[in-house]
């Protein structure tokens, strides 16, 4: 078990999301950075889909009740167990009474805590994820607070301490473009209404280093930059949308739909960030800058394959290593 000693708002239990219910108006929810959570689960000896803790506001502190294995991934939040510093993207065994502390990140935006067995909360619509805006799933349908005690499903199954390189060091991030320092690049494909925007506006879409505004959250990332205006105002029926869709509201300022995005909307869709790069966007802090890189559908499929290979290689390395 784990007792929450200190946390800011928006710390919640998340797994890989609630699939198959968008037709009923139920958002996917789930971890914003799926790569970090899935990697943490592998390091902790769990199924990749197990529930962990997503930490967005720091500092965070928790006490372990009983022995367990823990993995810390995502943002580099300088984790410590007691007075001992832990490397980022690292896993180790902890003992009863040990206290984990996560500090404000030096890079990234969200940290993930995976515990051996996974967080044991009720399964709602095939997921343990917290739907924060609807108020169900996760721990009592809400964000975590000081004094909450979380149970886990099982005990640790690994020995030793080990970790992995962060995905930005292992996965391709050049995308064949000249990179500007301090900017996060994410790949995207043109959306259904792409041709409804003038060519100059489309160029602005791809050539702008957009700023992530303070109005960004788990529902969507609101970006600041040049206004994107279609040839003429579009009147669209409300239609289905998914995480990654880049909508353009009447303000002309794009919004990238994220994990808690609504299931339908009527704004024109100029592009869609590919699923394999949503983790990059999720780790972009408020005030940071992001750029879209246009790719073809074939490249999108290849990116998904690269990510799957990356995760499977981590799993193979751990389960075949001396610490299994």
For the stretch 280-316, pLDDT in tens is 999 999 999 999 999 999 999 999 999 999 999 998 8
- 179 has pLDDT over 90: no
Give all strands of the β-sheet with 12-14 in edge-to-edge order.
Answer: 12-14, 52-55, 107-115, 68-76, 90-94, 162-163
DSSP secondary structure code for residue 22 in this structure: G
pTM over 0.85: yes
What contacts 267, CB < 8 A, 6 or more positions away? 236, 247, 248, 249, 255
- 11 has pLDDT over 60: yes
User: Per the structure block, which two tokens stand in for 277?
Assistant: 């790069």
| Digit-coded pLDDT (tens) for 12-54 | 999 999 999 998 999 999 999 999 999 999 999 999 999 999 9
Report the alpha-carbon distance of residue 70 to residue 158 in Å, rounded: 10
Which has the higher per-residue pLDDT, 321 or 288? 288
User: Per the structure block, which two tokens stand in for 61?
Assistant: 């502190």
- 323 has pLDDT over 80: no
CA angle, corner 323, sides to 322 and 324, nearest 5? Answer: 95
How far from chain centre, in Å, is Cα 12?
12
| Digit-coded pLDDT (tens) for 96-136 | 999 999 999 999 999 999 999 999 999 999 999 999 999 99
Report the alpha-carbon distance of residue 176 to residue 294 in Å, rounded: 11
Report the alpha-carbon distance of residue 187 to residue 173 in Å, rounded: 10
Minimum mean pLDDT range among 61-75, 169-183, 206-220, 273-287: 169-183
- 234 has pLDDT over 60: yes
Give the mean pLDDT of 196-216: 97
Alpha carbon distance, N-terminus to C-terminus of the chain: 23
| Digit-coded pLDDT (tens) for 132-162 | 999 999 999 999 999 999 998 866 666 788 9
């Amino acid at each position: 078990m784990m007792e929450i000693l200190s946390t800011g708002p928006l710390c919640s239990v998340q797994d890989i999301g609630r699939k198959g219910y968008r037709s009923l108006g139920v958002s996917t929810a789930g971890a914003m950075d799926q790569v970090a959570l899935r990697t943490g689960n592998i390091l902790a000896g769990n199924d990749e889909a197990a529930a962990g803790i997503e930490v967005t506001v720091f500092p965070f502190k928790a006490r372990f009740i009983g022995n367990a294995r823990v993995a810390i991934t995502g943002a580099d939040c300088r984790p410590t167990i007691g007075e001992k510093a832990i490397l980022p993207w690292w896993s180790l065994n902890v003992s009863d009474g040990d206290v984990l502390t996560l500090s404000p990140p030096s890079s990234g935006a969200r940290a993930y805590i995976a515990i051996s067995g996974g967080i044991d909360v009720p399964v709602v619509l095939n997921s343990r994820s917290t739907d924060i805006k609807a108020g169900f799933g996760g721990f009592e349908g809400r964000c975590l607070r000081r004094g909450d005690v979380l149970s886990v499903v099982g005990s640790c199954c690994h020995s030793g301490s080990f970790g992995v390189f962060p995905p930005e060091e292992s996965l391709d991030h050049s995308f064949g473009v000249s990179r500007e320092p301090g900017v996060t690049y994410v790949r995207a494909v043109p959306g259904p209404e792409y041709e409804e925007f003038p060519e100059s506006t489309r160029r602005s879409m791809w050539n702008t280093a957009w700023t992530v505004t303070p109005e960004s959250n788990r529902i969507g990332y609101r970006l600041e930059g040049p206004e994107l205006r279609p040839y003429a105002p579009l009147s669209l029926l409300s239609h289905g949308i998914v995480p990654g869709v880049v909508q353009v509201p009447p303000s002309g300022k794009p919004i990238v739909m994220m994990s808690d995005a609504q299931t339908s909307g009527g704004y024109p869709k100029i592009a869609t960030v590919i699923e394999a790069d949503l983790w990059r966007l999720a780790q972009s802090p408020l005030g940071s800058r992001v750029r879209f890189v246009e790719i073809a559908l074939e490249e999108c499929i290849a990116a998904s394959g690269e990510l799957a290979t990356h995760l499977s290689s981590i799993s193979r390395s751990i389960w075949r290593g001396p610490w299994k």
